[in-house]
Amino acid sequence: MTCYDKLVQKYGPDASKYSETQMLQFNDNLDKCVAVCADDHIKLIPEIKKRFAKSL
């Protein structure tokens, strides 16, 4: 997941070393990023359905 990778690069790979503030920021940013990613993938469903129906 790209957004997770970017956050790990920003905050570091070891979550046990994050301060409480950093952990809250990490989780907040991850929630936002995952929501955007999910929305982007949901937008792809109509085209996927068309291609699937076409191949039947």
Distance between CA 54 and CA 31 in Å, rounded?
35
pLDDT of res. 26: 96
Dihedral over Cα of 19, 36, 3, 1: its sign: positive
| Domain ranges (residues) in the chain | 32-56
pTM: 0.66
Instruction: Provide the Cα torsion 22, 27, 32, 37; round to 10°.
Output: 120
Residue 30's Cβ-count burial label (10 Å; 0-12, 13-18, 19+) is middle
pLDDT at 1 over 90: no
pLDDT of res. 15: 92
Q: Which residues in 1-56 belong to E strands, given as ranges?
A: none
Which range in 24-28, 31-35, 36-40 is most confidently predicted, on average pLDDT? Answer: 24-28
pLDDT tens-digit readout, 4-26: 899 999 999 999 999 999 999 99
